Amino acid sequence: MQQAIRISCNRRNLKVVRDFVGESLAGQQLSEVLVNQLILAVDEVVANFIIHANAEDEKQFLDVRVTVLNHEFGFEIEDATPSTYSPGSYQEPDLREFVRVGKKGGVGMMLVNRIMDRVEYSTTGEHTICRLYKTLA
Amino acid sequence: MKITQHATDTTLTLALNGELDASSSVLLDTELSKPEILRTQKVLIDCQQLNYISSAGLGVFISHLQTFQDANVKLVFFNMQEKVRNVFEILGLDSLMTIVPSEADATAV
């Protein structure tokens, strides 16, 4: 099963993506907590692409695809711009330090990495694709 | 996201209704940034109608927590749905913030 949606880079479309992922997972007999985790992981990546990679330029678009095959849930977020994000440089932040200095951002990818089994970024030509995978027994 | 306020002499209760994400979190940040909030003793966050929270929403609470602690303002969450509490737990924020089951528990903190 694969479903897809295209959105413009406006943060109001985060809700559209969340609803799309939720509807795509309906009927998979997943718990409400797990569905929320998967929605959250996609939401975080999409928010990064919208806000950071595309500076909320509504002329830019993202494609989001959901694939369910046996017990593997795959999510692809494709951005038609080259990525400046380097997952190789990612280091899990110290939350106590974030609290101490009053930092607002920086925990989104921490959530994504803790929720998903695999997080992959690739750039092909001018396109950047983030792939998220979760396998359930 | 809709935020309803109720204030007493010592306590400010904010009831969150809706989804707290990168689009709506600025509204909460505005409320928690008001200087008068530091003159209260306790800020209670009623999460009963909070259906979703992303890192942007968590970040708002993270960014104000130290300021509240320095001002001796207690920040207490209550009535949190399991799926929302789970997001706090994924990051271990449930050990850095006070989350209790009910309003009575929150009042007693």
Average pLDDT, chain B: 96
B64 contacts A95? CB cut-off 8 A? no
Nearest by CB: A104 against B23, B52, B60: B60
Judged by DSSP in three states, A127 sits in strand
A102: which residues sit within 8 A by CB, 6+ positions away? B62, B63, B64, B65, B66, B67
pLDDT (0 to 100) of residue B3: 97
A133 CB-near residues (< 8 Å, 6+ apart): A72, A73, A74, A75, A116, A117, A118, A119, A120
Lowest mean pLDDT of A3-7, A123-127, B35-39, name the range.
A123-127
B65 and A CB contact within 8 Å: yes
pLDDT of residue A86: 61
Q: Is pLDDT at B73 greater than 70 in this prediction? A: yes
pLDDT at A56: 94
Instruction: Give the ipTM.
Output: 0.93
Question: Model-level pTM?
Answer: 0.94
CB contact under 8 A, B62 and A36: no
- Cβ neighbours of residue B92 closer than 8 Å, sequence gap 6 or more: A95
pLDDT tier at A106, thresholds 50, 70, 90: confident
pLDDT band at A81 (very low <50, low <70, confident <90, very high): confident
Interchain CB contacts (distance < 8 Å): A and B: 91
Chain B residue nearest residue A47, CA to CA: B22
- In this prediction, residue A93 carries a pLDDT of 87
Measure CB to CB from residue B22 to each of A36, A47, A96 and give the nearest one.
A47
- Which residues of chain A make contact with B86, given a CB cutoff of 8 A? 33, 36-37
